């Protein structure tokens, strides 16, 4: 009873205490890191699923026993908060992992990140459209550190073949495929709408195809009136049209991506299509190895929209993850050595390719041709998709300043649920920015 | 004489006061450290602008005017009130019935009481993830033959999600309130029932005239805990809605709005303003419940004890 009663005060103070606790934790971590380790090494923070990146740190440490990097790995969910609290308290790591875009922009504008200039390391070997996401005012603040993650349209070849449907090239093909699949009793498109960001991927592509990349470029540059562009309304209309046609089935709104049900719908043959990032390939290969081995998993670029102003080769998604150097680091030279010689070096590129992921490095043709794993076709597709893309738009929720990410996802969801009209989406968003 | 007596009495009073203070000191100290200090921090932060990264800047009442004029705040407050009232209406009768059932003697009742108690032993995250999987329309309980009518997006439909959440909260907390009622029922002297039986009172009469009035303070305790608890309820809703308070904003109660403002939008000033509103609403609520019910008087209802 007392426990329950106390929980009120406890929860009230939760924010303050949580912050204090994390700061203390960061401070403790700090003493082992930059504090005493100034002479002996660096700290680096990354996500715990970055096993290939971890190998690069191990390789560096083997060569530099006197200036070792202490790598701390975190789970996805609390990483962003932890990093922010640590930097806010002046206890940030020397090297850190991020998604680029607006969130990294926050750190740049408060002077927490050091610029990586052309004399520090040669950034020309990275795919230019990928590097752009970590470039602010013409200065580079982070270098790509893992595989490309554009969003592609997956399909289950068996489901499509049973229904007599071809992979769609145009939006009209897609609508026809939706109608056919629906009449066969299959969910046409699997969508984890409960998580909101998978629905955002549809917005990103639909706007890019109808209005062109420049519409969001304007918004991303801070011009909120860009949301009232007619193509934003048009994109919302197209999405609501798909919803009305039953393209996402009856249950999309309760599917949460992390639960894996949306992925399962596709590989168990209960759905025909899914729009998702390249990481889904690895997920499906793990959950349904037979499907991939038998060549029943298909993929295409997002369909073109007839009459749309966008380039049909443009892509959206997460260009890559980035490594940045803290402005407060005591050993910038060592951090640069690591970024220059160990991140995405030859061994790393091979390791990523072997894991089914394409790193954002130019001139991979020879390496791709030499791949012998069943992933070859997939790797070639991703590489070509990115190489020929004129623009690679970062996910909007990452590109915008963090205070706009939540209104964006909420409005995306409400438009999907048809709680707001296509016109209201743009109006609400221009008000929020 | 008089002087000596007064000084003697003064000394006793003084001694009593110091012992009282000394005994309360540890609790007060801890409360000050973990209650008052962070709370004042939050109140101060609510008058500033801070993104958690840069410098803290003084913004005066700007956060307050923006929070109080934002319709999202009022929507969240309305949802919170709905959760509070509906939770009470759902949980109280079931908890009372279960408490009565468990209070009676019997081996199989004891066994069932243990089973009923299980949900409370699980963490909110475990409960949330389990129910999220169970309520999944494609792979959840809706896939069981005969339960096909449950194969609908219970957590995904903006009109149903809140009720699904209230149901899961009830599932987790009814055992706790049932336990309170069980303890309350066991404290009612058997003599009252014996006297009633002699007077020829039936089952219904005994419940309405003895059990329920005797349980009055248990009802007040349970109600206060439910009201204040649902005001600040966060974890289960967070997990069930995937951290977004969705679909749309259908389950975005005030504590969740506070979290999203503070830790996703990184607007600590506004989040602190919402937190302050929560604290004072909670305080007011518990004050009103205890005042209105006369709970503070703590008088026993049993003659002679």
**B49-82 residue pLDDT tens:** 988 888 889 998 999 999 999 988 999 999 999 9
- Containing domain of residue B15, as a range? 2-45
Q: Greater confidence, B214 or A18?
A: B214
Q: Are residues B171 and B249 in the same domain?
A: yes
Is residue A385 assigned to a domain?
no
Is residue B51 assigned to a domain?
no
B19 pLDDT above the threshold of 60: yes
Q: Are residues B40 and B84 in the same domain?
A: no
Structure tokens at B198: 């002699």
Count structural domains, chain B.
2
Q: Are residues A342 and A242 in the same domain?
A: no
- Give chain A's end-to-end CA distance (angstroms, integer): 45
Contact B264 A253 (CB under 8 A): no
Q: Which residues of chain A have pLDDT under 50?
A: 1-39
- Is the Cβ of A258 closer than 8 Å to some Cβ of chain B? yes
What ipTM does this complex have?
A: 0.75
Is residue B214 assigned to a domain?
yes
A130: left (phi over 0), alpha (psi -120 to 50) or beta: alpha
The confidence band for B264, taking pLDDT boundaries of 50, 70 and 90, is confident
Q: Are residues B18 and B86 in the same domain?
A: no
Is residue B250 assigned to a domain?
yes
In whole angstroms, what is the distance from residue A329 CA to residue A93 CA?
A: 8
Taken as a whole, chain A contains a residue count of 433
Which of A417-426, B27-36, B241-250 is the least confident region?
A: B241-250
Helix axes A230-244, A171-183, angle to 10 degrees: 20
Question: How does DSSP assign B199-210, residue by residue?
Answer: TT--HHHHIIII
Cis peptide before B247 (omega within 30 of 0): yes
Question: How does DSSP assign A246-283, residue by residue?
Answer: TTTTTTGGG--GGGTHHHHHHHTTSEEEEEEETHHHHH
Q: Are residues A40 and A127 in the same domain?
A: yes
The CA distance from A195 to the nearest CA of chain B, in Å, is: 6
Is residue B53 assigned to a domain?
no
Residue whose tokens read 């020929």 = A388
Test the A interface: residue of B248, B252, B259 with most A CBs within 10 Å? B248
Count structural domains, chain A.
2
Residue A127 sits in a domain of what CATH number? 3.40.190.10
The confidence band for B277, taking pLDDT boundaries of 50, 70 and 90, is very high
Q: What is the pLDDT of residue A260?
A: 84
Is residue A388 assigned to a domain?
no
By the 8 A CB rule, do B35 and B258 touch? no
Contact B136 A255 (CB under 8 A): yes
Residue B259 sits in a domain of what CATH number? 1.10.3720.10
The burial of A201, by beta-carbon neighbours within 10 Å (0-12 exposed, 13-18 middle, 19 or more buried), is given as buried
- Is the Cβ of A432 closer than 8 Å to some Cβ of chain B? no
Pairing of strands A68-74, A392-394: unpaired
Contact A17 B38 (CB under 8 A): yes
Is residue A330 assigned to a domain?
yes
Is residue B234 assigned to a domain?
yes
Q: What is the pLDDT of residue B295?
A: 60
Q: Are residues B148 and B29 in the same domain?
A: no
- Is the Cβ of A124 closer than 8 Å to some Cβ of chain B? no
CB atoms within 10 A of CB B151: 19
- Is the Cβ of A107 closer than 8 Å to some Cβ of chain B? yes
Is residue A382 assigned to a domain?
no
The confidence band for B197, taking pLDDT boundaries of 50, 70 and 90, is confident
B32 pLDDT above the threshold of 50: yes
Is residue A386 assigned to a domain?
no
Structure tokens at B249: 């904003």
Q: Greater confidence, A103 or B92?
A: B92
Is residue B181 assigned to a domain?
yes
Q: Are residues A166 and A301 in the same domain?
A: yes
Q: Are residues B187 and B95 in the same domain?
A: yes
Residue whose tokens read 């990275």 = A126
Q: Are residues A171 and A41 in the same domain?
A: no
Least CB–CB distance from B138: residue in A1, A265, A409: A265
Q: Are residues A139 and A222 in the same domain?
A: no
Least CB–CB distance from A106: residue in B51, B154, B231: B51
Candidate ranges A302-311, B140-149, B295-304; pick with highest mean pLDDT: A302-311
In whole angstroms, what is the distance from residue A148 CA to residue A133 CA?
A: 12
Q: Are residues A205 and A331 in the same domain?
A: no
Query: How big is chain B by its Cα radius of gyration, in Å?
Result: 25
Q: Are residues B151 and B33 in the same domain?
A: no
Q: Are residues A292 and A193 in the same domain?
A: yes
B238 pLDDT above the threshold of 80: yes
Q: Are residues B171 and B284 in the same domain?
A: yes
In whole angstroms, what is the distance from residue A143 CA to residue A132 CA?
A: 10
Structure tokens at A354: 């072997």
Contact B39 A16 (CB under 8 A): yes
Question: How does DSSP assign A342-359, residue by residue?
Answer: TTT-HHHHHHHHHTT---
Q: Greater confidence, B23 or A422?
A: A422
Return phi, psi of residue B82, to 5°.
Answer: -65, -45
Q: What is the pLDDT of residue B297?
A: 60
Q: Are residues A311 and A355 in the same domain?
A: no
User: A195: which chain B residues are within 8 Å (Cβ-Cβ)?
Assistant: 242, 244
Test the B interface: residue of A2, A6, A11 with most B CBs within 10 Å? A11
Least CB–CB distance from B247: residue in A20, A107, A413: A413
Q: Are residues B119 and B181 in the same domain?
A: yes
Is residue A389 assigned to a domain?
no
DSSP state letter for A320 = -
Contact B153 A16 (CB under 8 A): no
Alpha helices of chain B — where are they, by DSSP H?
A: 2-31, 37-45, 62-69, 71-103, 107-121, 124-134, 161-186, 190-198, 203-206, 212-214, 216-231, 235-240, 254-259, 268-293
Q: Are residues A95 and A176 in the same domain?
A: no
Is residue A278 assigned to a domain?
yes
- Containing domain of residue A351, as a range? 3-147+320-376
Q: Are residues A179 and A252 in the same domain?
A: yes
Q: Are residues A210 and A184 in the same domain?
A: yes
In whole angstroms, what is the distance from residue A398 CA to residue B188 CA?
A: 61
Partner residues linked to A187 by β-bridges: A271
Q: Which of residues 63-102 of A touch B (CB under 8 A)?
A: 77, 81, 84-85, 87-88
Is residue A110 assigned to a domain?
yes
Is residue B56 assigned to a domain?
no
Least CB–CB distance from B248: residue in A9, A256, A417: A417
Least CB–CB distance from A254: residue in B136, B244, B264: B136
Apex CA B144: angle with CA B143 and CA B150, to 5°?
65
Q: Are residues B102 and B166 in the same domain?
A: yes
Q: What is the pLDDT of residue B156?
A: 86
The half-sphere exposure of A317 on its side-chain side, counting CA atoms within 13 A, is 26
Q: Greater confidence, B184 or B264?
A: B184
Contact A84 B52 (CB under 8 A): yes
**Which of B28, B45, B62 finishes a domain?**
B45
Between the alpha carbon of residue A404 and those of residues A23, A396, A433, B34, B267, the distances in Å are: 25, 10, 7, 33, 11
Structure tokens at A361: 């490095």
Between the alpha carbon of residue A28 and those of residues A39, A88, A286, A332, A360, the distances in Å are: 18, 15, 38, 22, 36
* Global pTM value: 0.81
Q: Are residues A73 and A185 in the same domain?
A: no
- Is the Cβ of A250 closer than 8 Å to some Cβ of chain B? yes
Is residue B57 assigned to a domain?
no
Least CB–CB distance from A403: residue in B132, B267, B272: B267
């Amino acid at each position: 009873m007392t426990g329950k009663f106390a929980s009120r005060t406890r929860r009230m103070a939760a924010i303050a205490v949580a912050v204090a606790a994390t700061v203390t934790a960061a401070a403790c971590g700090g003493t082992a890191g930059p504090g005493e380790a100034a002479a002996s090494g660096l700290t680096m923070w990354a996500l715990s699923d970055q096993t290939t990146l971890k190998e690069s740190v191990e390789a560096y440490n083997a060569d530099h026993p006197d200036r070792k990097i202490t790598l701390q790995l975190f789970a996805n969910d609390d990483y962003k908060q932890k990093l922010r609290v640590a930097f806010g308290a002046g206890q940030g790591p020397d090297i850190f992992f991020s998604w680029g875009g607006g969130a990294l922009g926050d750190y740049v504008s408060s002077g927490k990140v050091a610029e990586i200039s052309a004399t520090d390391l040669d950034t020309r070997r990275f795919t230019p459209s990928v590097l752009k996401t970590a470039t602010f005012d013409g200065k580079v603040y982070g270098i790509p550190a893992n595989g490309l993650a554009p969003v592609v349209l997956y399909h289950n070849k068996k489901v499509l073949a049973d229904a007599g449907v071809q992979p769609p090239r145009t939006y009209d093909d897609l609508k026809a495929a939706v109608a056919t699949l629906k009449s066969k009793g299959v969910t046409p498109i699997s969508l984890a709408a409960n998580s909101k960001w998978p629905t955002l991927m549809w917005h990103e592509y639909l706007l890019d195809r109808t209005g062109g990349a420049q519409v969001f470029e304007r918004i991303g540059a801070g011009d909120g009136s860009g949301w009232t562009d007619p193509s934003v309304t048009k994109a919302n209309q197209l999405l609501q049209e798909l919803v009305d046609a039953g393209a996402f089935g009856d249950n999309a709104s309760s599917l949460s991506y992390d639960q894996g049900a949306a992925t399962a719908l596709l590989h168990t043959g209960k759905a025909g299509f899914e729009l998702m990032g390249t990481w889904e390939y690895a997920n499906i290969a793990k959950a349904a190895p037979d499907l991939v081995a038998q060549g029943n998993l298909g993929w295409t670029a997002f369909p073109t929209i007839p009459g749309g102003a966008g380039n049909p080769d443009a892509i959206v998604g997460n260009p890559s993850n980035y490594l940045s150097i803290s402005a407060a680091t005591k050993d910038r030279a060592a951090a640069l050595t690591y970024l220059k010689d160990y991140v995405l070096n030859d061994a790393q590129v091979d390791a990523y390719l072997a894991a089914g992921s394409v790193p954002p490095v130019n001139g991979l043709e020879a390496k791709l041709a030499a791949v012998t794993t069943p992933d070859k076709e997939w790797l070639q597709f991703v590489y070509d998709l990115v190489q020929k893309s004129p623009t690679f738009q970062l996910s909007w929720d990452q590109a915008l300043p963090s205070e706009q990410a939540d209104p964006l996802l909420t409005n995306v969801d409400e438009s999907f649920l048809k709680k707001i009209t296509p016109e209201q989406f743009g109006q609400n968003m221009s008000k929020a920015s | 004489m008089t002087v000596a007596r007064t000084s003697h009495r003064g000394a006793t009073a003084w001694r009593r006061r110091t012992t009282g203070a000394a005994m309360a000191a540890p609790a007060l100290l801890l409360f000050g450290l973990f209650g008052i200090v962070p709370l004042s921090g939050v109140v101060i932060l609510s008058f500033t602008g801070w993104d958690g990264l840069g410098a803290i800047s003084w913004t005066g009442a700007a956060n307050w005017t923006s929070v109080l004029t934002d319709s999202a705040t009022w929507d969240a407050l309305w949802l919170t009130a709905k959760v509070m009232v509906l939770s009470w209406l759902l949980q109280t009768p079931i908890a009372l019935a279960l408490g009565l059932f468990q209070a009676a003697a019997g081996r199989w009742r004891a066994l069932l009481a243990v089973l009923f108690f299980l949900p409370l032993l699980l963490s909110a995250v475990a409960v949330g993830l389990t129910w999220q999987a169970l309520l999944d329309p494609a792979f959840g309980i809706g896939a069981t033959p005969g339960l096909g009518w449950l194969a609908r997006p219970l957590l995904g439909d903006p009109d149903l999600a809140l009720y699904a959440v209230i149901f899961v909260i009830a599932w987790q907390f009814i055992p706790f309130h049932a336990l309170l009622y069980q303890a309350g029922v066991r404290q009612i002297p058997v003599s009252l029932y014996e006297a009633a039986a002699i007077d020829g009172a039936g089952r219904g009469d005994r419940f309405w005239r003895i059990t329920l009035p005797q349980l009055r303070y248990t009802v007040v305790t349970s109600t206060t805990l439910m009201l204040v608890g649902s005001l600040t309820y966060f974890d289960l809703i967070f997990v069930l809605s995937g951290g977004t308070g969705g679909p749309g904003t259908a389950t975005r109660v005030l504590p969740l709005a506070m979290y999203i403002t503070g830790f996703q939008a990184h607007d600590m000033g506004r989040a602190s303003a919402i937190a302050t509103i929560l604290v004072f609403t909670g305080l007011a609520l518990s004050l009103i419940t205890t005042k209105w019910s006369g709970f503070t008087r703590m008088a026993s209802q049993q003659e002679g004890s």
